[in-house]
Structure 1
Amino acid sequence: MEKRLGFVGLIIEDREHNAANVNMLLSEFGDIILSRTGVPCPERNCSAITLVIDASTDQLGSLTGRLGRIAGVSVKSMLSKMQHA
């Protein structure tokens, strides 16, 4: 399985209700997450999370697909062009 370096950007709306589901899912994918940075925005009841990942296209698709099915979560991602084993 060839992996690439990439990132995932998340915006979580209605943070009080949706953050726990996001955190549980990110824990499941902990083996591909190299870095996680979160910025809460309590005055807007939302937060932003940036992940740096080392993943295959299948792993990235699984992660972003499942994140995108969580209510109030917007997700965007990108992988580098260079692959490594």
Structure 2
Amino acid sequence: MESRIAVISIIVENSDSVECLNRILHEYGIYIIGRMGIPYRQRGISIISVAIDAPLDIINALTGKIGRLAGVSAKTVYSKA
């Protein structure tokens, strides 16, 4: 299956979901190119960007699992190629 490059943007508003989020990201670790997390303490949220190289169905599955966590939002931007 063809691999795509994508960036998943994640906003965590519920810190109770962080452990589960990290478990999910670890599960897909073989596809992750890198990740950057920014704690925004003044607002009590965390902003995370995950760069990934994977088949489209894997990227969609990961984004869906993340988006189902309580207090967590995720959106994905895909490369054109």
Please classify the TM superposition score into its range, dividing by the shorter chain length. over 0.9
Alignment coverage as a number of residue pairs? 81
- Output the amino acid matched with 1:29: Y
Q: Unaligned regions of 5+ residues in structure 2, if any?
A: none
CA distance in 2, matches of 1:21, 1:42: 20
Q: Unaligned regions of 5+ residues in structure 1, if any?
A: none
Per the normalisation by structure 2, the TM-score is 0.94
2:23 corresponds to:
24
Q: Which segment drifts farther, 5-14 or 35-44?
A: 35-44
Using the TM superposition, give the Cα deviation of residue 42 of structure 1 relative to its aligned residue in structure 2, in angstroms: 2.4
1:9 corresponds to:
9
| Alignment deviations for residues 14-35 of structure 1 (CA, whole Å, 9 cap, x no partner) | 22x1111111110001011101
Query: Which structure has the greater CA radius of gyration?
Result: 1
For the aligned residue pairs, the C-alpha RMSD in angstroms reads 0.9
CA distance in 2, matches of 1:18, 1:49: 13
1:71 corresponds to:
70
CA distance in 2, matches of 1:14, 1:54: 27
